Amino acid sequence: MREASIIRETRETSIEARVNLDGKGIYDVKTGIGFLDHMLEQLSRHSLIDLYVRAEGDLHIDYHHTTEDSGIVIGQAVLKALGELRGINRYGSAFIPMDETLSRVALDISGRPYIVWKVEFTRPKIGEMDTELFKEWFQAFAQASGITLHIENLYGQNNHHVIESCFKGLARALRSAIAIDNRSGDRIPSTKGALGDNF
């Protein structure tokens, strides 16, 4: 089983994350931010990655540090669980419709973290969460996991649907990318012979 646990403590947050990449999408998430919990639950359920998260942060200031740092810790846990990246598909993509909304997510577990973010919101908040923080979460996750990540909302009106389709898109793309390709054996999916820290 490809499993990993990460604990990260700073003066701003204390976060623990555990992942099982070969799980069933079982989640136990408590960040103190209700909407972020809802999105991370979607990430777990639709990627089939078992996810445990406990976060305590300076929410009396705002939600920025907890949001960003949870992306870092989950990304680190995913990268650690992937190990040497042998035998994985490496690439994944998904189109996710949600009522009037359609979003596209494509990713490469490349060891070259990068994010392209083409998502706009018409409201400053969803629930209690600032919509500008969603990019911060995805950027932190991509950086920590070594993933090249492209996210684009093609169209949509409901802000809740827009961001939820992005998280579900990440989930489905990640599910494809981390899956083991039985045809490739234990080879690293690169002509360079190396990915991740060895790139």
- Which parts of the chain register pLDDT below 50? 198-199
- Please state the domain extents for the chain: 3-198
Of 52, 79, 103, 98, give the one whose Cα is nearest residue 178: 79
Closest CA to 128 of 81, 66, 170, 197: 66
Q: What is the pLDDT of residue 199?
A: 41
- Please give the DSSP secondary-structure letter assigned to residue 128: T
Asked if 151 and 103 count as a contact pair (C-beta separation under 8 A), the reply is yes
Each residue's pLDDT tens digit, 29-43 = 999 999 999 999 999
Q: Which of 29, 3, 25 is nearest to 16 (CA)?
A: 29
Confidence (pLDDT) at 8: 97
The pLDDT value recorded for residue 146 is 96
Q: Span 3-198: which CATH code?
A: 3.30.230.40
Instruction: Give me the sheet containing 13-20, strands edge to edge.
Output: 3-9, 13-20, 50-57, 27-30
- pLDDT (tens digit per residue) in 75-113: 999 999 999 888 899 999 999 999 999 999 999 999 999
pLDDT of residue 192: 66
pLDDT score for 186: 76
Distance CA 50, CA 63 (A): 24
